[in-house]
Amino acid sequence: MAPADRAQWNQLADIFELDSKHRAEALRISSITGSENQYHASVCLLQKTRQDMDNVVSQLCSAASWKPAADLGTRLTKIIRETLQDHTMESYTYRVDSKKKPIQKSFEKIAMNAIINQSESWKLENLPQDFGSTLTDLKKHEAFMKFFGAKVRHVRDDFRIALLTNILVTHANIDEPAQPVPKLSELLLLLTRFFNPQDPRTAKEIEADMDSKAKARFAYLRIEAAIYNYTNQVDRKLRPGQSHWAWVDQQLENLCGQKRSYRRAFDTIVIATDQGFFDGNKSIFDIKEDEKFRVPTEDDVSQAMEFMSSNTN
């Protein structure tokens, strides 16, 4: 094949994104049987079709043959729990926002990134063959993605139960005396042990180390969880979303769109609410009927912003 023809041929092969194996076969056939660009295009298209079929077969074989190791569930749970320490998370269940745009810092994405960032040896031992980080790569591993999704849901459910320590009354302890709801420092210790059972720090050390925004996030999550837990089904329907985490995700989307001064005022009210009600002495039955026990409203935040502004001037 003449150099000029070969250059044109390469351009055609590039258009069809042939890999080295199918490119070589297409070039071999083209060199023997034709010189017209139209013919070369047909040859490349044929090889592209064969390449795609090979990929489909490979994906099906890979997906069909993968089975989780006996302890993979435990390993994934550990990794996924640790990601919940990220107080900048933008959603816990939603994948897209109200405008149908993908949420970049969703719980599921952060958890998946944590898995992708494991060592190569860990991934080789635990993940399906050719497991990648792109959406296309993930879709072809249906068995693993279902397994991963189940672990995400289980961890999220367990996280909610941890937030509701001494708030959630189960059938097993319904006749027992109500226990005081832990104060924030005790909650942070409980959550830290939930995220990482091997963390040796004391409650005081954790509180001293933790960012103020992280404290506000976990305090807010507990308040929202407690309110949802004691809201009847009729009143729950007055708010969009039918789960505690849906309420949380909608609130987080609203906060993400606000100015820094708004978010700061919101966090300040949350911490004040937490300290006022969850002082380590009151049970949830001393708290839940108080009208002041609520997630900050727009009016609450506006008043706080005015107060904070007047005190800084």
Domain range list for the chain: 3-65, 72-152, 164-312
**Per-residue pLDDT tens over the stretch 10-63:** 877 777 777 787 778 777 777 766 556 556 666 666 666 666 666 655 555 555
- Mapped onto helix, strand or coil, the DSSP state of residue 117 is coil
Average pLDDT, the chain: 86
Task: Tell me how far CA of residue 172 lies from CA of 25, 73, 157, 175, in angstroms.
Answer: 69, 27, 18, 8
Contact 63, 128 (CB under 8 A): yes
Strand partners, 91: 106
Contact 92, 249 (CB under 8 A): yes
Task: Tell me how far CA of residue 34 lies from CA of 4, 26, 38, 158, in angstroms.
Answer: 14, 11, 10, 65
CA–CA gap between residue 36 and residue 212 (Å, rounded): 69
> Which long-range CB contacts under 8 A does 116-123 form with residues at least 24 apart?
118/79
Q: What is the CA radius of gyration of the chain?
A: 27
Closest to 227 measured CA to CA, from 172, 174, 270: 270
Confidence of residue 119 (pLDDT cuts 50, 70, 90): very high
- pLDDT in the model for residue 243: 87
Which range has the worst mean pLDDT, 31-45, 145-159, 285-299? 31-45
Q: 91: which DSSP letter?
A: B
CA triple 56-57-60, angle to 5 deg: 85
Query: Residue 197: phi, psi to the nearest 5?
Result: -60, -20
Residue 64 has pLDDT above 60, yes or no: no
* pLDDT average, residue stretch 80-102: 94
What is the length of the chain? 313
Please spell the DSSP secondary structure of 154-187, one letter per residue: HHHHHHHHHHTTTTS--GGGTTSPPPPPPPHHHH
Contact 245, 156 (CB under 8 A): yes
**Per-residue pLDDT tens over the stretch 177-235:** 889 999 999 999 999 999 999 999 999 999 999 999 999 999 999 999 999 999 888 88
CA–CA gap between residue 151 and residue 157 (Å, rounded): 10
* pLDDT average, residue stretch 138-153: 86
Residue 136 has pLDDT above 80, yes or no: no
Task: Tell me how far CA of residue 28 lies from CA of 17, 47, 70, 294, in angstroms.
Answer: 17, 11, 48, 73
pTM, full prediction: 0.77
- pLDDT in the model for residue 289: 87
